[in-house]
Amino acid sequence: MAEQNKVVMFPMDAASFSERAVQSLERLHYDKALTYFRKAVECEPDNPILQCNLAGTLAEAGRFEESNDTLHHILHELDPNMNECYYYMANNFAYMEQFEESEAMLETYLSRDLTGMYTEEAEEMLEMIRFEAKQSSSSQHRGEQNVGVQSSAAKLPSALSDEEMGISEQAEDEHAEARMLLEAGRFVEAEKLLKRVVDSDPDYLAAWNNLALAYYYMGQFDEAREALDAVLERDQGNLHALCNLAIFERHAGNEAVVQQLIAMIGKIQPFYREHLFKIATTMGMLDEHELAYQHLRRLVTGHMLREASIYHYAAVAACRLGRYEEASRWWAVCRRLDPDSGIATYYMERLQQRDGGDIDPMPTYHYRLPYEEASRRAASKAASTDGSRSSRSGDGKDWEQQLKKDPLVRASLFWALRFGEPDVKLQALQAMSLLGDDEANDALRSMLLDPDQDAYMKQVAVYVLRMHGVEDPIEVEWKGEYIQVHRNHIANRLPVWESQWQQVLDILRDSMKERYDLFQMHDAETLWIEFITHLYPDEVPRIGKAESWAAAIEFIIAKMIRREMSYQLAAEQYGVSATTVAKHVKRMEDTCQVEAKIKQSFT
């Protein structure tokens, strides 16, 4: 009985506490490790080794100032010859982005201990800090963007003046304007401005980098690569260019080059937050999630960050590695910082629903809802209204504003127009119809000159341009020839277009625009043009009441898309006689062989 009640005492000495601290560190339990190291220090307060272990653990936990206080105490109170403390302090200052202090500590360490344990590392670190200081002052001053993600890097002050960097005031102003255009997704305008900048200053590397991005977003890969080559010819170690090049080469399918670049970039251990962010997001986009997560953890644990997007990127990397609990923690922080966007909430719900498998859909390194989810929410919001025109118009405006504000969405639209599958191109055209700015119109005009684009896509693109208010002749590559389209439709090749024929289209468009999508409206108007063309010039019917013909066209389109419709419903919509609608429908169906088209569309 006495043996059973015997209490085994845990040793209360510094060595035992240190051993437990090390075990906790191995399990990444920093709080417990700190508790045990502090107890060890209490047992032997004058032991500099124990104090140094405590300082190291504080640094591991991201508490760099406390770590430096402890290291300062060691050097000034316990052992002034423990020179490695200067090296440790240099690392802490670097993580806090206090690079002048870090540089000073490294210089002190090297001056006091030329053959010390960390001499080689200190020399490399000192060289890296000086190199990055030069890089950062250039890239931050000139404003280089990141591929595919919103940069959340802090703005660091430039160490060089405009005169020292050789930048003219005009070039600086134009580049700043181009950056804003890029951020707004107005890539064509940015490209024109950036070309002017690099023509006037060929050594303006940030402008070249941003020009490469403008080309990339527009799907012009050869031009993007040439712009990066211009950077690397002048600065072969330019971090932004190397990272962007790796992403470009991945899209081009040059995997051997990608792996070489990954190996090169992966060796870099940056101290500046901007460079840390650039490498982390690049590695993530290249599916090197372990490397991405290492850098992103440094960002979120080593800095007091208020940018929700960085916590999202960390969550994505953790998720891609199967570390779902860690991902959930990062998204929880993201949600606290940005509760209104719903992005973190959406992915946390996906985590809860994964039922032991992978999250579906797997998140990407873009801080936004998936396009499908954003579309679903917009549709759901529209369906929850009372069905009035004003309500639906408001929802359309909301969706339009979202398209205009998100440069990544705009980039994906331009990309889809050039390289997407047919159904994706149709979605992009539908979205383009909501934009109506010069950027979107330029993209549509470019599409119309591409001989590889489908004829139907071009017909819709012309229709969208006219919807946007473009009145001048539109040049189109059409069946091997370049033609000028003067009217709303490529199909309209008639020598004249009477005002009463146009009145039918105007009434039709005004009635259908809130109840049909872009393509159904286009097809409705094309049907009318086809009907008139078949009967021109001698058999075109007299247009007594334009509304009755508009009602007949809508009836046929509804029938083609299998929407519930009757002669009576169509007549009531336009305020005409159902008998007249039926008569017009019969003539149009016979003339345009509508039944054959319906059968073809469902086979």
- pTM for the model stands at 0.58
Exposure string of 390-421, with b = 16+ CB inside 10 Å and e = fewer, is eebeebeeebeebbbebbbbbbbbbbbbbebe
For 249, 330, 490, 491, the CA distances from 254, given in Å and listed in that order, are 5, 34, 40, 42
Q: For the chain, what is the mean pLDDT?
A: 82
How would CATH label the architecture of 173-352?
Alpha Horseshoe (1.25)
pLDDT for the residue 404: 65
The values of phi and psi at residue 545, to 5°, are -125, 110
pLDDT for the residue 458: 92
8 A C-beta contact, residue 182 and residue 211:
no
pLDDT for the residue 314: 93
Reported as a single tens digit per residue, the pLDDT across 313-371 is 999 999 999 999 889 888 988 898 888 888 999 999 988 888 777 777 788 888 887 76
pLDDT for the residue 28: 54
Give me the CATH code for the 14-133 domain, please.
1.25.40.10
The whole-angstrom separation of Cα 557 and Cα 585 is 11
480 Cβ contact list (under 8 Å, min separation 6): 451
Q: Which fold has domain 499-601?
A: Cyclin A; domain 1 (1.10.472)
8 A C-beta contact, residue 484 and residue 470:
no
pLDDT for the residue 372: 66
Print the SS3 string covering 325-376.
HHHHHHHHHHHHHCCCCCHHHHHHHHHHCCCCCCCCCCCCCCCCCCHHHHHH
Q: Give Rg (Cα) of the chain.
A: 33
Reported as a single tens digit per residue, the pLDDT across 157-204 is 222 333 334 557 788 889 989 988 887 778 888 999 999 999 999 989
